[in-house]
Amino acid sequence: MNNNGFRLKPGLKPGVATSATQIEGGDRNNSWYDWYLKGKIKDNSNPKRANRHYDLFREDTELLKEIGIEHYRFGVEWSRIEPDNGVFDEEVLSHYREEISLLKQYGIQPLLTLHHFTNPMWFEDLDAFENPENIPLFLRYVEKVISSLGDLVNEYITINEPNVYAVGGYFFGIWPPGKKSIRSVLKVYQNLSCCHIQSYRLIHSLREKTGYNDTKVGFAHHMRIFEAKNPKNPVHVLYANVMDRLFQESICKAFMTGDFDFPLKRPKDIVKGKYYDFIGLNYYTRSTISRFEDGVKENVPVNDLGWEIYPQGIVVCAKRLYEQYPSPIYITENGTCDNEDSFRCRYIYEHLKALSESDLPVERYYHWCFLDNFEWLEGESARFGLVHVDYETQKRTLKKSGLFYSQLIAQEGISEETALECLSEEYKTSNKETIRTGDWT
């Protein structure tokens, strides 16, 4: 390969990612369906529809196989598994066993996410993760899932993007439950950290008791570049540093090591240690900071949601995490909103090329997303998928970028000719500096 083409880094396995609420459909017992009922979704679309994956998982698994996917990150829906406090639905657990068994039959290895932004309404009504007395309730759910599915799955994400969950729901108030309190954010940070640490121990313990010694557990950490708009302006630098510390540094350290830096406090029953078997990194963008808000600078490439496209940032973030917590790296999410599928191939190419040419031990790359889906606040209006979904008919159609990704997997890299085709795709460009007030992921 020349400078335009590249070979995938040895050991780097591409896959795709989804979350339960965003694709399954049919469930009305979770906090995001409640958020829809309150009129909070921008296009008024309903997560009860989504992709009907809960019913169509066989068709979707065939499609995964067709693309050549061998690694699939997906989630289970807590509100289905435990629809009422302490009441577990064995039929739902049997459904997930069937789905995972089919994946494995097709040679697809699951990375199972236990919590991805949504709560059962009974848990939400108990103040969810803001209340430390609810930690045992989450651990009870984790124990049930591992007891029911642990013989089929050896790799787990305990919690997806705890920083985004806390900041969106408890600081900006744009996600459920809609609070605006830094004190609440810190409570949620602390309690989620305890949930992860105790889940890490619990998952390892449960699987070891049944004879499995190949367990891998981590969490998916949303990380971005926080860059001062003017690096010579001390106020801009201060804001950038504070946002970096509060949004991603402190919570990551607590999750990974049980070491709670100010303003977090370490609970008495948590001891310092190593609570990760891999680094899980969700990376999307860079933020330009001049105040305590999320900015995007002028004249930079952006996606359809106005997020800056900054491929080199994925290496910067991964390297920073690796230097702090040396272990294998899983890119647990990376992708872009491109409703016309006009630049997604280039986006994938540039991010995977940057990773492959780095000296980092990157073992997985999960593209977000497998299918167009219900994209939280954006609803059905923001398309991240390799597969186009007609939500009215639920017809799936492999996009140009999906075919490209399939070829990349089969060829374990990108040829010069394909690279030139990717680079001919044009990114959109911001024409003015903006402040983002919507979705952070």
DSSP letter string, 150-194: TTT--EEEEEE-HHHHHHHHHTS--STT----HHHHHHHHHHHHH
Q: How far apart are CA 259 and CA 348, in angstroms?
A: 35
Residues 348 and 311: beta-carbon distance below 8 Å? no
The confidence band for 432, taking pLDDT boundaries of 50, 70 and 90, is: confident
The confidence band for 437, taking pLDDT boundaries of 50, 70 and 90, is: low
Residue 374 has pLDDT above 90, yes or no: yes
Residue 355 has pLDDT above 70, yes or no: yes
Average pLDDT over residues 91-96: 98
Residue 439 has pLDDT above 60, yes or no: no
232-273: per-residue pLDDT in tens?
A: 999 999 999 999 999 999 999 999 999 999 889 999 889 999
Q: What pLDDT score was predicted for residue 1?
A: 41
Chain-wide mean pLDDT for the chain? 96
Share of the chain above pLDDT 70, in %: 98
Residue 60 has pLDDT above 50, yes or no: yes
Angle between helices 416-423 and 344-356 (to 10 degrees): 130
Q: How far apart are CA 222 and CA 160, in angstroms?
A: 8
Q: What pLDDT score was predicted for residue 436?
A: 63
Residue 319 has pLDDT above 60, yes or no: yes
The confidence band for 163, taking pLDDT boundaries of 50, 70 and 90, is: very high
Residue 92 has pLDDT above 50, yes or no: yes
Residue 81 has pLDDT above 60, yes or no: yes
103-126: per-residue pLDDT in tens?
A: 999 999 999 999 999 999 999 999
275-296: per-residue pLDDT in tens?
A: 999 999 999 999 999 998 889 9
Residue 20 has pLDDT above 50, yes or no: yes
Residue carrying structure tokens 């000296």: 359
Q: CATH assignment of 6-436, given 3.40.50.620, 3.40.50.2300, 3.10.20.340, 3.20.20.80?
A: 3.20.20.80
Average pLDDT over residues 381-408: 98
Q: How far apart are CA 237 and CA 243, in angstroms?
A: 10
Share of the chain above pLDDT 90, in %: 94
The confidence band for 435, taking pLDDT boundaries of 50, 70 and 90, is: low
Structure tokens, 292: 């305590």
Average pLDDT over residues 42-62: 98
Measured CA distances, 250 to 243, 246, 405, 430 (Å)? 10, 6, 35, 31
DSSP letters spanning 327-396: S-EEEEEE----TT-SSHHHHHHHHHHHHHTSSS-EEEEEEE-SB----GGGGGG----SEEEETTTTEE
Q: How far apart are CA 4 and CA 415, in angstroms?
A: 8
183-204: per-residue pLDDT in tens?
A: 999 999 999 999 999 999 999 9
The confidence band for 3, taking pLDDT boundaries of 50, 70 and 90, is: low
Residue carrying structure tokens 């997985």: 364
